[in-house]
A and B are shown apart, each in its own frame.
Chain A
Amino acid sequence: MAKANFETPAFRPYPVIPIIKKDVMRGPGPYLAKPDMQRDLGFPEELVDDWHDKAIAKMGDLLGKYRSLRVYLDSCVKCGACTDKCHYMIGTNDPKNMPVARQDLLRNVYRRYFTWPGKLFPKLVGAQDLTKDVLDDWYNYYHQCSQCRRCSVFCPYGIDTADISMAAREILDVVGKGQKYCNEIIAKVYKIGNNLGLPDKALRNTVEGLEEDIKDETGVDVRLPVDVEGADVLLVTPSADFFAEPHIDGLIGYAKVFHQAGISWTLSSHASEAANFGMFIGSYENMQRVSLRVQKAARDLKVKRLVFGECGHAWRVAYSFLNTLVGPFDFLDQRYPIPQHICEFTYDLIQKGALTLDKSRNDHRRLTFHDSCNVARGSSMGGVPGGQFTIPRELIKASCNYFYDMPSDTICDQTYCCGGGGGLLTDDLMELRVKGALPRMEALKSVVDNHGVTHMASICAICKTQFSKVMPYYGFEMDQIISVHQLIGDAIVLSPE
């Protein structure tokens, strides 16, 4: 693994609009998917000979299916409001990472083939033929968008730029130019059941080890059940929660919450993954196929409730799309939210007084909270507007004495992406990931300097991995990122039965 050769951006004294550096992030893009990965997802194994016609036909197909896409492509007036809102633009200074410019890579081709002015007078309206260079630019720059939709918050027309990136990636997949990171992972979900490739036996071994750890720490038998038919709750969580640090402490936190609330629950070896990378590649069919596993597990295990663990885009898929993808969930208990977020679940228990939390156990930590983009801008929770912002913060405040928010233009609906979302959390994009983390790192620095913050909590597996990897580039420690449910888990007072 060759060491990436780049400079970590310096903190800016004032976060002003960066001076652009043309083509600085031009390149071949991330590794291409291997033929077998493409095949597993139903895409051509490599770039097809008639890629041009196939790409235009697919664009036409998407325009027909999604009226929204045509509106987004038609309605941009080049006002410039989005230009400096993208973390990748801020971190890399490449003008094609201005959201408008990145969208224009697709929009210009759309104009040429699907609008009369573009067909008749292409030069007058900036319409562009689809050439191999343009296709390569799509591949490169649509893998420099994490589909976080921060720019969309500032767009006066409400253009959903993530939808445009997703459409571009789907076209690329259909012509045989898929991305290795995403497609390898989706193929693993089909073959093994999760992104990690964690087989049933290893899953059971891992959770048994965690049960021992909790017993050693607390003296209490807290279970992490797998495939228990008839449990009340099916918990679907990202497989990173079984594998990575700090994620695994969040999983322990969920288990302690279930234990103290006395609610029976189970994990599923069939749906051992909450993540759904089908969304990142814009593929409805793959998103549906991944979601079906969750629905099947809920049916087979005869549970009453469906709860999702800490995973940003999983929650967007669950909250916004699950019912239309694989519903109806009429077989679940209709008195509870379907699906429910683990933060909602825990918050509800705290409101009822069902959890005993000793905040002082977290007194060695001073917290801030990183809103994950797909939760912040793609969903809600708790049945109240803004619940996705208040509920995780209430959980932190219920388990810690010291909480400080980062600057207001970097949190809630204006949150910055961690820099690794949207299918970009791969080693071959390390330069992009480090540079894209700049605005979040600056915001963290301000609360570290002003309030002595020691840890940043998050509710997304991608954010946690990304931060533990990039924080050292900015002078922080890798373990300053933490799961919200680790804080709950550490504060919870368990008593031996």
Chain B
Amino acid sequence: MAIQADGKTIDTDEEGYLTDLSSWTEGAAKVLAAQDEIELTDSHWEVINFLRDYYNEYQIAPAVRVLTKAIGKKLGKEKGNSKYLYELFPYGPAKQACRFAGLPKPTGCV
């Protein structure tokens, strides 16, 4: 499977995650979000950018707790909770947001 974004063909696996993390572009994130009927707002981008930065440093997506804390610090306490993140990413901040951010799917009992 593949998507078209920013004039490029970008390969995804059967679950819609990028097969090559370096092929990610902002346009790809928008296309992947559109597949789930989501239009990315600034709030989504805050999360996506944090995920990408964290991944670059730690080679894994952050724990949901780490993510909520970071978002809370940045955007205010009322937004530092899973409920807010689920409003942005209804399928779950861990999996859906990772997919838009071009990160691999978190595996295991999560």
Question: CB within 8 Å of B: which residues of A?
Answer: 1-3, 31, 181, 184-185, 188, 194-199, 201-202, 205-206, 209-210, 213, 238-240, 242-245, 248, 275, 311, 425, 427-428, 461-462, 464-465, 469, 478-479
Contact = CB atoms under 8 A, between A and B. Distances in A.
Given A1-B15, A209-B69, A242 B63 contact: yes
Interface in B51-101: 57-60, 62-66, 69, 82, 86, 91-92, 94-96, 99
B55 to A, nearest CB: 10
- Secondary structure at the A interface, as helix, strand, loop or mixed, is helix
A184 B108 CA distance: 9
B64 A196 contact: no
Contacts of B108: 185, 188, 194-197, 238-240, 243, 275, 461
A197 B65 CA distance: 17
Given A1-B99, A2-B35, A209-B63, 6 more contacts: A1-B36, A184-B107, A199-B59, A206-B65, A213-B65, A243-B63
A199 B107 contact: no
B109 A199 contact: no
A239 B92 CA distance: 18
B14 interface: yes
Contact of B109 (A1, A195, A202): A195
Nearest to A477: B83
Nearest to B91: A1
A202 B59 contact: yes
Interface in B8-30: 14-16
Interface residues of B, number: 29
22 contacts: A1-B15, A1-B96, A31-B14, A31-B15, A196-B107, A196-B108, A196-B110, A197-B104, A197-B106, A198-B60, A201-B59, A209-B66, A210-B65, A238-B109, A243-B64, A243-B106, A244-B109, A311-B109, A427-B15, A427-B95, A461-B108, A465-B110
Contacts of B62: 202, 206
B96 A202 contact: no
B58 A205 contact: yes
B14 A201 contact: no
A275 B58 contact: no
A245 B106 CA distance: 13
A465 B107 CA distance: 12
Contacts of B110: 196, 240, 243-244, 461, 465
A427 B106 CA distance: 11
A469 B91 CA distance: 9
A206 B66 contact: yes
A1 B16 contact: yes
Given A1-B91, A238-B109, A248-B65, A199 B60 contact: yes
Nearest to B15: A1
Given A31-B15, A202-B59, A248 B107 contact: no
A465 B109 contact: yes
B60 A244 contact: no
Which 8 residue pairs across A and B have the least CB separation, nearest first? Answer: A195-B108, A461-B109, A202-B58, A240-B109, A244-B110, A196-B108, A243-B63, A202-B60
